[in-house]
Each structure stands twice: as structure tokens, then as C-alpha cells.
Amino acid sequence: MYWILAGISLGFAILTKWLPALLVLPLLFIVLHHRKEHSFLNNAGRLLLMLGIAVIVFAPWQFYIHNRFPVEADWESTYNFKHLFIQLEGHEKPWYYFFIRISTHYGELIWGVILWFAYDAYRKKWPLRHCFLLSWFIMPFIFFTLAQTKMPAYMIIGAPPLFIMTGVALLHLIELLKSRKEIDQFKYSLTIILIAALFLLPLRFTIERLKPLEPSFAQTLPAIEDLKDYSSHPTLNKKTVILNYPYPIQGMFYTDAVFYDFGTDQKTIDSLHSHNYHIIDFKNQSRLASALED
């Protein structure tokens, strides 16, 4: 019964986040293998049952969209697959992109935490909790590093094990502080610095990203008023595409036109022209009025 419920949950996860949800299967195999309660074939059978139930849950939706919207569904499926082999949507990132991004999101000490946790796993002869958490992070990290299209949110699936590993590291450092009599002053001070850094380095990125001291919203007000003034302009209809506009969401909220905050190549522009789209490049413009007059 539990495996049927697990399969239903996996099916819902696939419907929500698609195939990355299959990470559950190898992680469950690690748990079953460490417990050694059943044979390899028995464990594999349980996972196959779980996968089969998941297919029963998510397959009807795939069947429906490919029959009801065959062109759109085939295009989306093919486009999703291309993310593995082609750098799409301007996400031309180097192979080490996630090495840098993870350091930014979780603090520069996060790789030290991961290495310490791996060493601790080796020292304790690879207990289940260590193998589980390391695998939870390493498998998606390798997969998305090999994928050609790299986006910041891809590795969110690996956030929970990083948080847990950081928490374990903090508890270890706090235990060192409690045994102050057993460590010298230098090690005591270094431990204090490491604890503070594990908290402050990720917090620093949060502050940098939010930019609380910059009047970012106030800067958008002139653009919003500009959009309101020209919202009924005949040019800003559904067949108009405006490129390099700094506030595309606001642009599409107040008008019928399509806005992008980046440009595109001439081949795409020619294709849009062939489909009777009017293209406006906002680059080097300060107000919407000047762009519409060009």
C-alpha cells in the first residue's frame, strides 16, 4: 500500500515539475540498499511498481495534450529536450556555471561544507544519512552541469540537502565551542568566524540582490506613466513586438503589444515580419513616444 501511495505522489511530482522528479527513485534505492532488508531484485521490483503507478498518474495528461493540441505539445516536448544539448534563450553559460552560482546562493563556504560532509561520510564508513544527502545534491548537480542550457533555478532541487549539510556543520562547530577547554584560542576564534560566515555570506547575497537602498520601484514609475499614456495607441496592438524594453512585464500589462527586455537576430525579425508583426527596437530610447515615432 505504501508503494502505491509513493507511486501516486511521484506521478503528481512529475505532473508538477516533470522528469527531475524521478530523482526520487535512485534516492529510494540508496535507502533500500543500505537497509539490506530485501534482495536487489526485490528492491528493484518495488521501485518498478512505484514507477508504474506514477506512469498511470501522469500519462493521461500527456495523452490528452498530444491528442488535443498535437502541434503545441510536440513543439514543447522537443523544445524541452533541446535544453540538454543546445544553449537556448540566451543562457550561454560555461560548464562551471553552477559551481559559481551555488557559491553565490548559499555562501562561499558551501563547497567547504560539502567537502567536510563527504570527508565525514568517509570517516564514518558512509552511513545512510551521509550517502542520501550527498547523492541528493550530486546527482542533479552533475545532470544540470552536463545540460547545455543552464538556469539559476535548476539546482533548487538540491537546496534541501545543502541546508541540512550546513546545519550539521554548524552543529559540529557549536560542539567545538562547547569544548573550549580542549581547543586553543586560535581554533576558538576561527570557529566563531566560520559560524558567523556560514550565516552572513548567504545573507549578504540576499541584501545585494534585493538592493533595499536603491529606489528601484521609483525608477519604474516614469515608464509606467509612459505606458498608461500610450496604452490605447493604435501601434501597440497584438501584432507589435517591442525589443530591448527594460520593463517588459509592465509593458504587456498596460498594452496589447508583446515586450521583451532583450533583442534578437535578423532571421527572427524577418520571420516575424513575414507573419505581419511590427517590430520596434527600444534600444537607446528613453521614452515610448520616441520609439513609436521611429
Q: pLDDT tens digits, residue range 181-211? A: 667 777 788 888 888 888 888 888 777 777 6
The helix-helix angle for 185-210 and 97-106 (nearest 10°) equals 100
**H or E segment to which residue 279 belongs:** strand 278-281
* Residues 159 and 102 reside in one and the same domain: yes
Mean pLDDT of 42-60: 92
Widest CA span in the chain: 78
CA 266/CA 279 separation, integer angstroms: 11
Tell me what pLDDT residue 53 has: 94
Tell me what pLDDT residue 23 has: 92
User: Which of 58-67, 98-107, 260-269 is predicted most confidently?
Assistant: 58-67
* Residues 120 and 197 reside in one and the same domain: yes
Q: Residues 236-247: pLDDT tens digits?
A: 889 999 999 888
SS3 18: coil
**H or E segment to which residue 242 belongs:** strand 240-243
* Residues 76 and 108 reside in one and the same domain: no
Tell me what pLDDT residue 212 has: 66
* Residues 102 and 74 reside in one and the same domain: no
Q: Residues 90-105: pLDDT tens digits?
A: 777 888 889 988 988 8
Q: Is residue 217's pLDDT more than 60?
A: no
Tell me what pLDDT residue 215 has: 53
Q: Is residue 62's pLDDT more than 90?
A: yes
Tell me what pLDDT residue 182 has: 65
Percent of the chain residues topping a pLDDT of 70: 93
Percent of the chain residues topping a pLDDT of 90: 38
Q: Tell me which DSSP letter residue 239 carries.
A: T
Tell me what pLDDT residue 214 has: 61
* Residues 103 and 193 reside in one and the same domain: yes
Q: Is residue 124's pLDDT more than 70?
A: yes
CB neighbours of 228 closer than 8 A, spacing ≥ 6? 254
Say if 221 falls within a structural domain. Answer: no
* Residues 143 and 201 reside in one and the same domain: yes
* Residues 104 and 196 reside in one and the same domain: yes
Label the pairing between strands 240-243 and 258-259: parallel
Last residue of a domain, one of 56, 82, 108: 82
Cell of 265: 537576430
* Residues 206 and 102 reside in one and the same domain: yes
Say if 219 falls within a structural domain. Answer: no
CA 65/CA 178 separation, integer angstroms: 60
* Residues 167 and 68 reside in one and the same domain: no
Tell me what pLDDT residue 69 has: 92
Domain of residue 272, residue span: 226-293
Q: Find the range with the poorest average confidence among 4-8, 119-123, 168-172, 244-248.
A: 244-248
Q: What is the mean pLDDT of the chain?
A: 86
* Residues 193 and 269 reside in one and the same domain: no
Say if 217 falls within a structural domain. Answer: no
pTM over 0.85: no
Mean pLDDT of 103-126: 92
Say if 88 falls within a structural domain. Answer: no
Mean pLDDT of 128-151: 92
CB neighbours of 66 closer than 8 A, spacing ≥ 6? 73, 74
Among 11, 35, 34, residue whose Cα is nearest residue 22 = 11
Tell me what pLDDT residue 111 has: 94
Domain count, the chain: 3
Last residue of a domain, one of 55, 82, 109: 82
Tell me what pLDDT residue 220 has: 66
